[in-house]
Amino acid sequence: MSRWEDNVRKVVPYVPGEQPKCTDIIKLNTNENPYGPSPKVMEKTIELEKLRLYPDDKATLLVEAIADYHNVKPSQVFVGVGSDDVIAMAFMTFFNSDKEILFPDITYSFYDVWAELFRIPYKRIAVDDNFRIKREDYYCENGGIIFPNPNAPTGIVESLDFVEDIVKNNTDSCVIVDEAYIDFGGESALSLVDKYDNLLVVRTFSKSRSMAGIRIGYAIGCEKLIKFMNDVKFSYNSYTMNMPSIILGAESIADEEYFRSTVNKVIETREYFVEEIAKLGFTCLPSAANFVFMTHESLQAKEIFEKAKENKIYVRYFNKPRIDNYLRVTIGTKEQMDTFIEFLKSLV
Amino acid sequence: MSRWEDNVRKVVPYVPGEQPKCTDIIKLNTNENPYGPSPKVMEKTIELEKLRLYPDDKATLLVEAIADYHNVKPSQVFVGVGSDDVIAMAFMTFFNSDKEILFPDITYSFYDVWAELFRIPYKRIAVDDNFRIKREDYYCENGGIIFPNPNAPTGIVESLDFVEDIVKNNTDSCVIVDEAYIDFGGESALSLVDKYDNLLVVRTFSKSRSMAGIRIGYAIGCEKLIKFMNDVKFSYNSYTMNMPSIILGAESIADEEYFRSTVNKVIETREYFVEEIAKLGFTCLPSAANFVFMTHESLQAKEIFEKAKENKIYVRYFNKPRIDNYLRVTIGTKEQMDTFIEFLKSLV
C-alpha cells in the first residue's frame, strides 16, 4: 500500500434510494413528486443561453424570491445544492465543538454520515414506542440538535409548541429543524426564526416543489446564523448554485397557484391511500408528508418490498432495527396508488 | 454573545472576482469564454421536463462522456459542482494528515482558503523571480501537493517532464494538478494517471467549454483515488450534479468541432493581443491560458484597473505582494480586445 493512503479520510458513504434507469416502473421509493414542476419553469430555459458566464455567486434572484415568499430578509436566506448541501454546511459551520450533537435514532439517515465525515461526536436518542420524539430527552448539554419535522421515514409531525420548547431549552446550541416535508402538513417553525437566534429552518425544492432534479435547498434563520454559513460556503465553493437552478428555481416560486394545487393533490391522494389500505390490514403512522410509513398485521415488509419490485413498483425498505417491518411509500398519482393497492390486494 | 457562537467554524471567506449585474460592460475579469457553449447544448434543454425526479446520483451520462473523451474508464472519473467542489473534496479526502501540504505562493487563491476551512496545515512555496515554480522545492516531506498547470494568475505552463518529476518524487503524497486552463496550451498530465497512483488531474467546463454557468468540474486518476473521493462525496451529498448539468454537460462533450474552433479563436486572439500591447510598452508573462498577466514599464497596474472600470472594462487586479503591478486580463473576442487596446492607447 502506498503511504498516501494513510492520509485518506475513510468513511462509509451514504447509500441513496435506488434510482433505476428503466422508465416503465412505478417509482415510489425516493419521495419525489408525481407532478412535474410548474410549466412556467420550462419557459425560462431559454435564458440558459448565458451559460458561458459564471452564475451570480450570491444567487440573488433565487434568494430574493425565497425571502419574499417567506417574508424574511434576503440576508436571512442561505441556498445550497439540495438540502443535503445546506445541512452539511450547517454541520460544518455550527457543530464545531467537542460535545455530542443529538438527533433521533429513527430519522433521516444522512445525519450520522455527516457527523462521521466531519468527525463530530454524536448521540442518537431513541424515539418512543409510537415513534414520537420525546422533547425532554433534548434538555441536556449538547453540541447541537437536528431533527426533521415531519420526521422521516415516519412522517410524524410535531406541533410548533413542541419545536419551540426544544429551541428555547437549548439557547447555547444551534437547533436545526429539517422541514423537507412541512408543506404536506404541520406548522412551520419559520415563525420562530426572528425570536430565537439559535434556530435554523431548512427547506427543499425536491418534494413539494417537484424539482428534485434541480437540487435546491435553503435555510432560514437570523442574519447572524446565515452570515456564518455563507462565510463557510464561500470558503468551500463560491459558485455552488448553477445558472439553471437560480433561474428555474426563482420561476418555481413565482407560480404559487400551481404549487398549491399539486401539493393538495398529493395530500388528497395520501388520505385516500391510507383509507384504502386500512381495509387490507395495513396501518400507517400518522403522516404529514408526501409518503406513508406502513406496516401489515401479518405480511412481512421485506417480502412485500421484494414482490413489489418484481412487479415494477419501487418502494423503500430499511433493513434497520425497530423499522424493519415497515415500508416507506411515496404518494404518487391516484392511478399509481390504485395500481399499488391492486398489487397489495393480490398479496393479502 | 450566545454560547452557540463558540462552536461556530470561523473562517475568512474567499472573495470571488466581481460579477457586475449590468450588461453593457466588457467583462475580462473572471476568465470566462467569450463564445457561448455549443448550440447543441441548448437543444437539450427540452429534456429538463424530467426535473421532478432526482438526477442520477452517479451522473452516468456525464461521467461516461468524459471517460470516453479522455480514453479512461468511467471509474477513473469524479465529477463535481465546478472544479472548486472537486478540489475541495480532494482536499478533504487526501490531505488528512498532520503534515503540511505544499503549493506555490503565487497561485489560485482558493488553496489556502480550503486549507483553513478544513484545518489542514500548509506551506506556500515561493515561485522564482520569473514566476516559475521550482520543482526541487517540492522534494521534501509533505502531506500533499497541489499546483495549477498552467499556473494562475501567471498563465505560465510547465512541461510534462516537470510535472512527472514532482509526481514521482512524491509517491507517498497525493499530487493534484489543476488543469483548468490546459486546453489553451501545454501538455496534459492525463497521460500519466495510469502510471502513478498518486496523481489526480482536475479539469473544468468553465473555461475552454464555455460553460461557467453550469458548474461542472472533474478529476481523473487511478480507480482507487476516485473511489476514495466518491466515498467522501457520497458522505456529503449524493446528488451534487443536477439534471441540467448532467444533460447539457454531456452534450457539450459531444460537439468536439465547436469546442476546438472556439478554443483556437481564443488562442489566436491572445497572440494578437500580446503583440499589440507590446507596442505600447506592456509585457506579458508567457501565457498558455485564456488570460494574460500583463505589466507596464511605467503605468501603474492599479491605476489602469480603476480607469478601465470607469470605462466599463472589467479586468482583475490583485493587491498582493509580488503581483501588485500586474493585471490579469481574460481574452475576449477580437472586438473586445481591440476596444481594450484603444483604451490602453489613450493612457500611454
Reading chain B (348 residues) residue by residue, the pLDDT tens digits are 678 898 999 888 888 777 787 778 999 999 999 998 998 998 999 888 899 999 999 999 999 999 999 999 999 999 999 999 999 999 999 999 999 999 999 999 999 999 999 999 999 999 999 999 999 999 999 999 999 999 999 999 999 999 999 999 999 999 999 999 999 999 999 999 999 999 999 999 999 999 999 999 999 999 999 999 999 999 999 999 999 999 999 999 999 999 999 999 999 999 999 999 999 999 999 999 999 999 999 999 999 999 999 999 999 999 999 999 999 999 999 999 999 999 999 998
| Cα angle B146-B233-B16, degrees, rounded to a multiple of 5 | 55
Residues of B in contact with A99 (CB under 8 A): 7
Any domain includes B43 = no
Phi, psi of B232, deg, nearest 5: -65, -45
Residues of B in contact with A116 (CB under 8 A): 235
Looking from the CA of A29 toward its CB, the CA atoms found within 13 Å total 19
Instruction: Looking at the complex, report in whole angstroms how far the Cα of residue A105 sits from the nearest Cα belonging to chain B.
Output: 18
CB contact, 8 Å: B85 with chain A? yes
pTM for the structure as a whole: 0.95
Helix (H, G, I), strand (E, B) or coil at B204: strand
- The answer on A62 and A204 residing in a single domain is yes
What's residue A1's pLDDT?
Answer: 60
CB contact, 8 Å: A174 with chain B? yes
- Give the nearest partner residue to A51 out of B2, B213, B241, using CB atoms: B213
Phi, psi of B238, deg, nearest 5: -70, -25
Over residues A220-239, mean pLDDT: 96
Over residues A118-131, mean pLDDT: 96
Whole-angstrom Cα Rg for chain B: 21
Residues of A in contact with B84 (CB under 8 A): 236-239
pLDDT at A162 over 80: yes
Instruction: Looking at the complex, report in whole angstroms how far the Cα of residue A83 sits from the nearest Cα belonging to chain B.
Output: 9
What's residue A15's pLDDT?
Answer: 81
Over residues A213-230, mean pLDDT: 97
Helix (H, G, I), strand (E, B) or coil at B268: helix
Q: What is the mean pLDDT of chain A?
A: 95
Phi/psi region, residue A169 (left: phi>0; alpha: psi -120 to 50; beta: rest), is: alpha
Instruction: Looking at the complex, report in whole angstroms how far the Cα of residue B30 sits from the nearest Cα belonging to chain A.
Output: 8
Candidates A171, A176, A138; CA nearest to B5 is A171
Interface contact flag, A57 B232, Cβ < 8 Å: no
Antiparallel, parallel or unpaired: β A217-220 and A313-314: unpaired
Whole-angstrom Cα distance, residue B72 to residue B85? Answer: 21
Phi, psi of B125, deg, nearest 5: -105, 125
- The answer on A110 and A59 residing in a single domain is yes
- The answer on B88 and B237 residing in a single domain is yes
Last residue of a domain, one of A254, A272, A290: A254
CATH of the domain at B301: 3.90.1150.10
A176's grid cell:
436545526
Residue A184: domain span:
39-254
Question: By mean pLDDT, which of A153-162, A242-251, B8-17, B70-79 is the weakest?
Answer: B8-17
What's residue B18's pLDDT?
Answer: 78
Which among B5, B6, B9 is the top mutation candidate for probing chain A, defined by the most A β-carbons within 10 Å of its own β-carbon? B9
- The answer on A290 and A249 residing in a single domain is no
Question: By mean pLDDT, which of A14-23, A26-35, A174-183, B68-77 is the weakest?
Answer: A14-23
H-run or E-run covering B244: helix B243-254
- The answer on B77 and B17 residing in a single domain is no
Nearest CA in chain A to B246: A213
Give the residues across from B201 on adjacent strands.
Answer: B177, B220
**Could you report the per-residue pLDDT of A306-321, keeping only the tens digit for each?**
999 999 999 999 999 9
Last residue of a domain, one of A213, A234, A254: A254
Cis, bond preceding B153 (omega within 30 deg of 0):
yes
Nearest CA in chain A to B16: A238
- The answer on B272 and B249 residing in a single domain is no
Helix ranges (H only) for chain A are 39-43, 60-70, 82-94, 111-117, 160-168, 223-234, 243-254, 256-278, 301-310, 334-347
pLDDT at A19 over 90: no
Domain count, chain A: 2
- The answer on A285 and A237 residing in a single domain is no
Any domain includes A128 = yes
Which single residue is written with the C-alpha cell 498558455?
B288
Whole-angstrom Cα distance, residue A87 to residue A178? Answer: 8
Q: What is the DSSP string of B4-64?
A: GGGG--------PPP--S-SSSEE-SS---SSPSPHHHHHGGGGGGGTTSPPPTT-HHHHH
Q: What percent of chain A has pLDDT over 90?
A: 90
CATH of the domain at B58: 3.40.640.10
- The answer on A105 and A222 residing in a single domain is yes
Interface contact flag, B32 A9, Cβ < 8 Å: no
Any domain includes B41 = no
Any domain includes B207 = yes
What's residue A238's pLDDT?
Answer: 92
Last residue of a domain, one of B254, B270, B301: B254
Interface contact flag, B19 A228, Cβ < 8 Å: no
CB atoms within 10 A of CB B272: 15
Residues of A in contact with B10 (CB under 8 A): 228, 231
Confidence of residue A21 (pLDDT cuts 50, 70, 90): confident
Instruction: Looking at the complex, report in whole angstroms how far the Cα of residue B293 sits from the nearest Cα belonging to chain A.
Output: 21
Confidence of residue A258 (pLDDT cuts 50, 70, 90): very high
How far out from the chain centre does Cα A273 lie?
A: 22
Which single residue is written with the C-alpha cell 480607469?
B307
Candidates A197, A176, A152; CA nearest to A89 is A176
Any domain includes A209 = yes
What's residue B1's pLDDT?
Answer: 60
Which single residue is written with the C-alpha cell 425536491?
A206
What's residue B247's pLDDT?
Answer: 96
- The answer on A62 and A29 residing in a single domain is no
Confidence of residue A49 (pLDDT cuts 50, 70, 90): confident
- The answer on B198 and B179 residing in a single domain is yes
Any domain includes B47 = no
- The answer on A176 and A268 residing in a single domain is no
Candidates B106, B243, B102; CA nearest to A205 is B243
Any domain includes A75 = yes
Interface contact flag, A242 B237, Cβ < 8 Å: no
B331's grid cell:
481574452
- The answer on A157 and A306 residing in a single domain is no
Whole-angstrom Cα distance, residue B311 to residue B26? Answer: 9
Interface contact flag, B51 A37, Cβ < 8 Å: yes
B45 Cβ contact list (under 8 Å, min separation 6):
A45, A46, A48, B244, B248
CB contact, 8 Å: B198 with chain A? yes
What's residue A279's pLDDT?
Answer: 97
What's residue A13's pLDDT?
Answer: 83
Any domain includes B141 = yes
Give the residues across from B200 on adjacent strands.
Answer: B176
